[in-house]
């Protein structure tokens, strides 16, 4: 264990991100765990908060193993396991996750209209990085919209995945990248599920 909970990790990330205070960053949380963290960071940096919708694509029967990720535009990021999975399953998985993304966009936009990242310093926040597929998809999705700078901020990450994400972002702040990484949740004493209600509350709090 490294962090008490996501709020603990967010406060530590906010301290590490203080050079961006006063520059009105746009802080984007990955739903769902990253959004309450992004709320804390945005408040600490006097920035704006929004969500960035991406979903990992899971291996058959293994919901914790990502074979890639899909962004809101439908763009897919593939990892090393992607080609090992049958095409019909992959297409169904992509369609299912895109449908969830669209439902969440409707839900979240009801309390917080999307903010244009063009020309902004954008900080993309999540509780951790396992395979890196979701975060790579997130960074690429932001890049499509013309930000000035893309920063990734996470509590913990697998070192190999951190390198993949670092190649996509302009800056990366990671509090812990242990060589023995297994899963994000093992580094949090409290890794309770974050609900859509908690996400909408974080978005509405600004």
The answer to whether residue 104 scores a pLDDT higher than 80 is yes
Q: pLDDT tier at 101 (50, 70, 90 boundaries)?
A: very high
Q: Give the pLDDT mean for 34-54.
A: 96
Q: What pLDDT is attached to residue 111?
A: 87
Query: In sequence order, which residues have a C-beta less than 8 Å from that of residue 194 and are 6 or more positions away?
Result: 6, 31, 32, 33, 35, 36
CB atoms within 10 A of CB 189: 10
Q: What pLDDT is attached to residue 39?
A: 97
Strands 62-71 and 76-78: what pairing? antiparallel
The answer to whether residue 110 scores a pLDDT higher than 90 is no
Q: Tell me the pLDDT of the chain averaged across its residues.
A: 92
Query: Is residue 132 packed enough to be buried (19+ CB in 10 Å), middle (13-18) or exposed (0-12)?
Result: buried
Residue from 38, 51, 7, 18 nearest 191 by CA: 7
Give me the residues paired with residue 152 across strands.
Answer: 124, 172
Helix (H) or strand (E) holding 59, with range, is strand 54-59
- List the single range of 20-29, 81-90, 158-167, 188-197 with lowest mean pLDDT: 81-90
Helix (H) or strand (E) holding 90, with range, is helix 87-109
* Secondary-structure percent of the chain, ordered helix, strand, coil, rounded to 5: 40, 25, 35
Q: What pLDDT is attached to residue 93?
A: 92
Query: In sequence order, which residues have a C-beta less than 8 Å from that of residue 181 and are 6 or more positions away?
Result: 130, 156, 157, 158, 159
Domains of the chain: 6-53+113-204 (3.40.50.2020), 56-107 (3.30.1310.20)
């Amino acid at each position: 264990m490294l962090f008490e909970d996501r709020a603990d990790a967010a406060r530590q990330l906010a301290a590490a991100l203080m050079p961006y205070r006063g520059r009105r960053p746009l802080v984007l949380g990955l739903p769902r765990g990253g959004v309450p963290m992004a709320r804390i960071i945005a408040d600490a940096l006097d920035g704006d908060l929004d969500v960035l919708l991406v979903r990992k694509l899971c291996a058959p029967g293994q919901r914790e193993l990502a074979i890639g990720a899909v962004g809101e535009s439908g763009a897919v990021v593939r990892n090393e396991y992607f080609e090992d999975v049958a095409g019909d399953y992959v297409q169904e998985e992509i369609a299912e996750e895109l449908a969830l993304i669209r439902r969440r966009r409707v839900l979240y936009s009801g309390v917080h209209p999307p903010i244009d990242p063009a020309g902004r310093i954008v900080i993309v926040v999540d509780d951790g990085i396992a395979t890196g597929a979701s975060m790579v998809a997130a960074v690429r999705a932001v890049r499509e919209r013309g930000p000035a700078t893309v920063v990734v901020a996470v509590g913990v990450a697998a070192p190999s995945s951190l390198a993949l994400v670092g190649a996509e972002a302009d800056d990366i702040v990671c509090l812990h990248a242990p060589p023995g990484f297994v899963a994000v949740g093992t580094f949090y004493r409290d890794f309770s599920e974050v609900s859509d209600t908690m996400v909408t509350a974080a978005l509405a709090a600004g």
